[in-house]
Amino acid sequence: MSWLFNHRLKKDYLLFYINNKQHSKNTTIQVFGLNVVFDMAADLALKNVDNACETAEEFTRLFYKHLDNSRHLTSKLYLDAGLLVWNGNGINGNAKIQKFLLDLPPSSHYVKTLDAQPVSENFMPDNLTYLIQACGDVTYQNDDVKKPFQETFVIVAVEGKWKIATDCYRLQVPYNCS
Domain assignment present for 76:
yes
Check: CB of residue 65 under 8 Å from CB of residue 56.
no
Check: CB of residue 25 under 8 Å from CB of residue 38.
no
Provide Rg for the chain, Cα atoms.
Answer: 19
Which amino acid, 79?
L
Check: CB of residue 147 under 8 Å from CB of residue 171.
yes
Domain count along the chain = 1
Q: Looking at residue 131, which CATH number applies to its domain?
A: 3.10.450.50
Check: CB of residue 13 under 8 Å from CB of residue 128.
yes
Specify the DSSP class assigned to residue 76.
Answer: G
Domain of 41 in residue numbering reads as 3-171
Whether this model's pTM surpasses 0.75: no
The pLDDT value recorded for residue 173 is: 76
Q: What is the pLDDT of residues 106-141, one digit of tens each?
A: 999 999 999 999 888 777 777 889 999 999 999 999
Residues of the chain with pLDDT under 50: 1-7, 10, 13-14, 17-24, 30-31, 36-44
